[in-house]
Structures are given as structure tokens and as C-alpha cells.
């Protein structure tokens, strides 16, 4: 499948991995938008939040657990961080493999919409 994040999971495209579990991968964003910017993805290909099924709820929970652990590892658990999912064209979703952005390490701007 021609999916960038599946290729990162397979190891055919390199990434700076922060954490890995059986079902979840956390790696640094190639173009960080904040001092701390990692991406949390399921290893299984799920195209977007719209494509999450009841079967995927376990891995969604694991992604949240990984976000909590990543924030701690990166030293932003107390200072604070933001977890963002982009879904669909209006959000600017560019990679069609479900992911959360974890952003922190500085005072973040207000959300706009
Ligand atoms: P989206 O706009 O789909 O929510 O976010 C995709 C994110 O993936 C962007 O923040 C972008 O910088 C990041 N990204 C795109 N290509 C690569 C890559 O090859 N490696 C890594 N580590 N991040 C990438
Ligand atoms: Zn994929």
C-alpha cells in the first residue's frame, strides 16, 4: 500500500522513533511545529478518524496511553501539551493514516477555526 506511515512502520522509510509497542508507534515529526512535536500512530493502517471502527477502540486507547507516556518522556507532562487529530480536507490532513500530533515545549497559540 502506498502509505507513508505504513512505510515508517515497516522500516522502509526511516523515522526518529521515540516509543514503540505491539500496536502503536511514536516518532518525531519531520517538520516540527513546536519544540516538542511527535506523531502517535496505530501500526495498523486506518485512513482517518472517520474510518475507526468498534474493532479499533483498543488501539485508540493504546494511542492515548502512548501519548501520556510520550509526554512524560519528553518532559512536557506537567508543563502541558496538545493532542490534535486532523481529519479530512478542511483540517489539512495530509497523510491518510490516522495520527495524533502531540505538541508542547512552549506556550501554544489559541486554537483557531
Ligand atoms: P497531517 O497534516 O496529515 O495531520 O500531518 C502530517 C504530519 O506528518 C506533518 O506534520 C508532517 O510534517 C509529517 N510528516 C510528513 N512526512 C513525514 C515523514 O516522512 N517523516 C516524519 N517523521 N513526519 C512526516
Ligand atoms: Zn498506512
Distance from Cα 67 to the centre of ligand 1, integer Å: 17
Per domain, the residue ranges of the chain are: 4-104
Q: Which architecture characterizes domain 4-104 according to CATH?
A: 2-Layer Sandwich (3.30)
Interface predicted TM-score (ipTM) of this complex, two decimals: 0.99
Output the pTM of the full model. 0.98
Query: Which residues partner with 24 through β-bridges?
Result: 42
Query: Which residues partner with 40 through β-bridges?
Result: 26, 100
CB of 30 within 6 A of ligand 1: the answer is yes
Distance CA 91, CA 94 (A): 9
Q: Which helix (H) or strand (E) holds 24?
A: strand 24-28
Distance CA 89, CA 94 (A): 8
CB of 50 within 6 A of ligand 1: the answer is no
| pLDDT tens-digit map of 19-34 | 999 999 999 999 999 9
Amino acid at each position: 500500500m502506498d502509505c507513508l506511515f505504513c512505510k515508517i512502520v515497516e522500516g522502509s522509510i526511516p523515522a526518529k522513533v521515540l516509543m514503540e509497542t505491539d500496536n502503536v508507534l511514536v516518532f518525531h515529526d519531520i517538520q516540527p511545529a513546536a519544540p516538542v512535536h511527535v506523531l502517535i500512530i496505530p501500526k495498523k493502517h486506518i485512513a482517518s478518524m472517520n474510518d475507526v471502527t468498534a474493532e479499533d477502540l483498543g488501539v485508540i486507547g493504546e494511542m492515548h496511553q502512548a501519548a501520556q507516556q510520550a509526554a512524560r518522556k519528553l518532559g512536557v507532562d506537567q508543563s502541558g501539551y496538545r493532542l490534535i487529530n486532523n481529519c479530512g480536507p478542511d483540517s489539512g490532513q495530509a497523510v491518510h493514516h490516522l495520527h495524533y500530533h502531540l505538541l508542547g515545549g512552549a506556550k501554544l497559540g489559541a486554537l483557531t477555526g
